A and B are shown apart, each in its own frame.
Chain A
Amino acid sequence: MSAGDARGGARVTPPERRSTGAAMPTAERGLFGVMGVFLLTAGLRSGSSFQKLLLGSLGAGLTALALKGQSPVATALKIRQNTDGETLVGDAVTIGKGADELYAVWRKLENLPGLMKHLERVEVLDERRSRWTVKAPAGYSGGEVSWEAELTADEPGQRIAWRSLPGAQIENSGEVLFRAAPGDRGTEVVVRLTYRPPGGSAGALLARMLGQEPSQQLRDDLMRFKREQELGYHPTTEGQSSGRAGQGGKA
């Protein structure tokens, strides 16, 4: 670890987040408009008054979004974008282990697919460069997407940062911070990711609905990492007995 006072200050502050509330590109406004009118019509036609209310208001909402050209839905779902149109994702978890130990696990980049489930593999090319491969996100042709990335910072026990090299299909960057938690609670692991989602904020929204959105994946990944480090295994109920089909019958 370098000098103690080098750890706090600017690095702890999140990077610039001039969140625009996700302004929608024209194509996206069109899509929202069509969906809005469709739902509105379906709602008004529905026999059930509950559906009428639900679909109707959803439809009216989407139509209003299209007219306004801003996506408060994306904002509400915490899909944040900066002024360059990049989506920002971040999360943090406190793990009852030392920073050096946790840093060492992340620094072996080839370990990362074990930590981050959407990663298929990471190949280390040299001291700074690596090749990352993920399963293709929804609506993306081809089974896999891969890119080359380079380390932009490597501070043992404190921080690892990377960014994709020019030419990447999905431009992205990220960093992981390891900070001592107050008291004897271990280490605060903070992850920040930036990427340009295919399809703009609607793409990010769609991915969120399909459960493939990076902020959800990140939360799962961090909890999985915490449990691996603290317990050494993942609690599960898979395979337990129940009265569901194929398992039993009436006594």
Chain B
Amino acid sequence: MKAIVWQGTNHVGVETVPDPALLLPTDAIVRVTSTAICGSDLHLLDGYIPSMEKGDILGHEFMGEVVEVGADVKKVRPGERVIMPFNLACGVCDPCRRGLFSACDNSNPNHRMAEALYGATSASGLFGYSHLFGGYAGGQAQFVRVPFADVSCFAIESDLRDDQVLFLTDIFPTGYQAAENCAIVPGRDVVAVFGAGPVGQFALRSAQMLGAASVIVVDRVPERLRLAEAAGARTVNYEQTDVLEALREATGGRGPDHVIDAVGLEAHGHGPGALLDTAEQKLRLSFDRITALRWAILSCAKGGTVSMPGVYGGLVDKLPLGAAFSKGLTLKMGQTHTHRYVRPLLQRIQGGEIDPSFVITHRAALSKGPELYKTFREKHDGCIKVVLDPWA
């Protein structure tokens, strides 16, 4: 089959690789009908998430049709149209039973590697996201092996198009959880979203669905800001204005009640902090450039929440913890417990509250994937979100 393969830092290519096979009786094989490139794939592309190996198949946002199931698979049947959350969960351990699917105890066979690097109990396995997170082959391919099939596969029976349900696998729940974590008081709270990429766009719309009085979106890419404005957000271009000043003014000096950092470890930005971050990252003294997080903490109103759906990699310094402490902020973070949100958000899509396909700017054949990785990274050609067809 054809698949997008990590070939080394800043190199991905389309290769012919063997078709996946069932490895365990709880696996399923899915024929992929749509697959997307996620912003967090870019952290793999440029090597900021360690433990990638040449030949790893990328991709963690995909959907398709079940073609084969193992002997112990009970709920999922061949022929079903399914979507799979990007994180893998066993469904039986204590975190899974509490709905903390992205903290699954059992799904990462390389738990020791993750524990050593993160200095903490490892998170769940992820599709196509480095050996630290299990080394599972991803779904930017014609077929994919789906472990824990009964827990992983969500049947989509309606006539919704792939484009409308595909993002339930990651960016929609991720934006939604980020907004939910803010515990927004409807009609009262102002929410700022840093980063107007795909997750930021869904965080904005989720904050609106949860009743935010208004939403302010911070980015620098004109078409992203326009897409946010189209949804009714106020916007701040941080390259043209001082972010902290603009947010203070927009909120009568209070600051946004909650701030969502939908940027993560590769923040751009400017100022001495940003320069120092970049220098440290280039020297591999640090994995993370935290300008967005720094601004989020500094701008957030007293008693507010800084919600962090953006991915962070390692030890972070120069974090304005004093500001967070003095304002009594709540910090909420972590991978999305995607499984929890698939059904409720699917209902919102079916009810016509949101059509997630608004975010797609580029569609192409899988074979064009490597070019589109670059287009997406450079934000050329108005690129916000890429969906690939493995069979085109």
Taking beta carbons and an 8 Å cutoff, which residues of A are in contact with B? 94, 96, 185-186, 216, 219-220, 223, 226-227, 230-231, 233-245, 247-251
Contact = CB atoms under 8 A, between A and B. Distances in A.
B352 interface: no
Interface string B88-114: 101011100100000001111101100
Chain A, interface SS category: loop
Contact of B24 (A94, A226, A233, A242): A233
B137 A251 contact: no
Contacts of A185: 94
A223 to B, nearest CB: 6
A193 to B, nearest CB: 18
Contacts of B14: 251
Closest 4 CB pairs of A and B: A244-B55, A243-B55, A243-B5, A248-B17
A42 B165 CA distance: 58
Contact of B23 (A239, A247, A249): A239
Interface of B: 1-3, 5, 7, 13-21, 23-26, 53-57, 88, 90, 92-94, 97, 105-109, 111-112, 125, 134-137, 145, 147-148, 367
Chain B, interface SS category: loop
A242 B112 contact: no
A243 B3 contact: yes
Contacts of A237: 23, 109, 134-137
A12 to B, nearest CB: 20
A223 B121 CA distance: 11
Contacts of B94: 94, 96, 185-186
Contacts of B88: 235
A247 B137 contact: no
Nearest to B88: A235
B17 A230 contact: no
A251 B367 contact: yes
Contacts of A227: 106
Given A230-B93, A236-B23, A240-B145, A251 B112 contact: no
Nearest to A248: B17
B135 A96 contact: no
Contacts of B108: 235
A250 B134 contact: no
A139 to B, nearest CB: 23
B57 A231 contact: no
A113 B312 CA distance: 39
B135 A230 contact: no
A186 B148 CA distance: 22
Contacts of B20: 240-241
Listed residue (A220, A242, A244) with the most chain B CB atoms within 10 angstroms of its CB: A242
B54 A244 contact: yes
Given A235-B107, A242-B17, A96 B23 contact: no
Contacts of A251: 2, 14-16, 367
B81 to A, nearest CB: 23
Nearest to B367: A251
A240 B88 CA distance: 16
Given A96-B93, A230-B90, A244 B53 contact: yes
A248 B20 CA distance: 12
Contacts of A231: 90, 92, 106
Given A234-B109, A236-B24, A240-B20, 9 more contacts: A185-B94, A226-B106, A227-B106, A231-B92, A235-B125, A239-B21, A242-B137, A243-B57, A247-B17
A148 B287 CA distance: 50
